[in-house]
Chain A
């Protein structure tokens, strides 16, 4: 009972302030463009409809014993509370690069503890989203919980979201996605110094789950290659990532199923865009998908769950052509080779890593974790592979395990 009371008081303390203020800045010039504040909760305790969170990863409430209420909402709310009440929120733009390397204005979010010193900068690569209103600069990203432990957390929107929502998102294209993240980190560092919140350590921490897990590994590779001096890496946390796209393609074709149907058109289109392959989507998508994918994916109006619902299929044979499912077909071979090129494991990690994956993950198959282990065995890496439930539940474990380790 005493424990219960302490916990309740702790929760009340979290709820004591609910007026997060989001400052909009140009990270290149440090110029503040606007300041917006909004209540997270309405007077009746419900979520303010004007206030968005990133769609929580697909958590099946049946997976947890806590589930006589909606676990999705609870997780979303509690993480939101942590974010809203103790953090300084900065959404902003910075000069990044497009898929061919030309300068492009991109956006992202920076979260800083309101009080106290900043330990390190955490460079987060976010997980898959579908709608632009879920983009980090427009929301309170779940990974923002880590900022509450005294870290600055920066999260890039990626090309195709935020201020570049009119562009195709080069989904799973390693080079351009990782570069958006690195560019933002390089832009945020001088901004932090400018506002007097320079981290105590120059070392950065990289972290991400799912798409963000693979991107985080790609970011590590890119930083090691290009800017290890400006962004020395302290530690890397990667969870549930599709590190090996080709192996993911192979196992999905073999099983004829995917746990995240919307990823199919997103990957084919994203890799085609990023690699400039000039593929015809009609060679890959069956008419039911071909007719709608542009609206579903590129309008950025729908969340991942909504797109999956509209696609209404989990068997690849329902949505992909026979040629698209045969990697030895001429056009598909071009895609497959690009998938191999965009797998993120072929490098030597110079910093310690934590690699997390639930063995029960069917959205990002466990083969990805085994491939990471196969490639990285012998390096300074802690592998955390266990039965952590499906992909969404794995995300919650990952978020909290990283939170504890920080």
Chain B
């Protein structure tokens, strides 16, 4: 009987465990905002709040003549407005599972990276505490100015030899460092929005994991699907992207080529000017 009562108590405890309410901090706390790295198209920074339950948001905006003189209140309003509007728009379409805080806010110490910035451009990093329920700012605005690094770009073209079960890719400059990657066309559209963002994100991912160096090429590269990638599905269209890469940044125009693994070999229905296809 005692054992049964224990079971019941445990069940209740477990069910009550699901009722733990989220802690909402409404009093201002202090933040340490530190920019750790600035590259040609990205900035990495850390946020350390002195209260781990405080909710905060950040934003990166172009630092230009028009916005340079804006007071903190206006910067906060600018940042909050688009978040609120986006959430309102989404909520109008469906009953969201994620709250405003889930979708736009952070809690606790974070290392954050903001990507797809323009090279050699001045930006303003903004951070402020927020009440996630009322969506109102709490306390002061934290701001840091930074300028992305310039990236020198130069053309790089390629010859792609279609080997039936793979490719030999030859850059026209054997000394340039270059990178290539491919993905299903439909996945590129669904996940990344465009082939460029796919290619950019993949380079950024490898760079983030300190692994890009392992994958960069100098001179020709050989790829055989039956040996190097058995996940390629026949009849499915893939898009390949190629470019020069310098210091983890794209340093030539990105060139694209579509291919389909057919039963008789590889069909290449499209290739950018700058990619020469040979048998």
List the one stretch of B102-110, B118-126, B153-161, B268-276 in contact with chain A.
Answer: B102-110
A residues near B96, Cβ cutoff 8 Å: 352, 380
Does A246 belong to the interface (CB within 8 Å)?
yes
Q: Say yes or no: A78 contacts B11, CB within 8 Å.
A: yes
A residues near B8, Cβ cutoff 8 Å: 7-8, 10-11
Q: Say yes or no: B5 contacts A246, CB within 8 Å.
A: no
Q: In the complex, which residue of chain B has the Cβ closest to the Cβ of A10?
A: B8
B residues near A352, Cβ cutoff 8 Å: 96-98
Q: Say yes or no: B13 contacts A381, CB within 8 Å.
A: no
The main secondary structure of chain A at its interface with chain B is helix
**CB under 8 Å from chain B, chain A span 385-405:** 385-386, 396-397, 399-401, 403-405
B residues near A8, Cβ cutoff 8 Å: 1, 4-5, 8
Q: Would A348 and B190 be within 8 Å (CB), given that A66-B9, A380-B90, A380-B98 are in contact?
A: yes
Q: Say yes or no: A379 contacts B18, CB within 8 Å.
A: no
List the one stretch of B208-216, B239-247, B248-256 in contact with chain A.
Answer: B208-216
| Contact-size category for A | 35 or more
| Contact-size category for B | 35 or more
Kindly supply a per-residue 1/0 record for chain B positions 141-153, scoring 1 wherever the CB is within 8 Å of any chain A CB and 0 otherwise. 0000000000000
**CB under 8 Å from chain A, chain B span 163-217:** 186-187, 190-191, 205-206, 209, 211, 213-215
20 further A-B contacts with Cβ under 8 Å, apart from A336-B211, A383-B98, are A7-B9, A7-B11, A7-B12, A11-B11, A66-B13, A69-B6, A75-B10, A78-B7, A78-B10, A348-B190, A374-B113, A378-B103, A379-B98, A379-B103, A383-B102, A396-B14, A400-B15, A400-B18, A403-B15, A404-B15
Q: List 21 A-B contacts (CB under 8 A).
A: A7-B12, A11-B11, A14-B7, A15-B4, A81-B7, A175-B231, A225-B186, A225-B187, A328-B214, A337-B211, A337-B214, A346-B205, A348-B190, A348-B191, A352-B97, A354-B97, A380-B90, A382-B98, A382-B102, A385-B107, A400-B18
CB within 8 Å of B: which residues of A?
Answer: 4, 7-8, 10-12, 14-15, 45, 66, 69, 71, 74-75, 77-78, 81, 100, 175, 224-225, 235, 246-247, 250, 276, 327-328, 333, 336-337, 340, 346-348, 352-354, 359, 370, 374, 377-383, 385-386, 396-397, 399-401, 403-405
What 6 pairs between A and B have smallest CB-CB spacing? A352-B97, A7-B8, A404-B18, A400-B14, A11-B8, A401-B18
CB within 8 Å of A: which residues of B?
Answer: 1, 3-15, 17-20, 90, 94, 96-99, 102-104, 107-108, 110, 112-113, 186-187, 190-191, 205-206, 209, 211, 213-215, 230-231
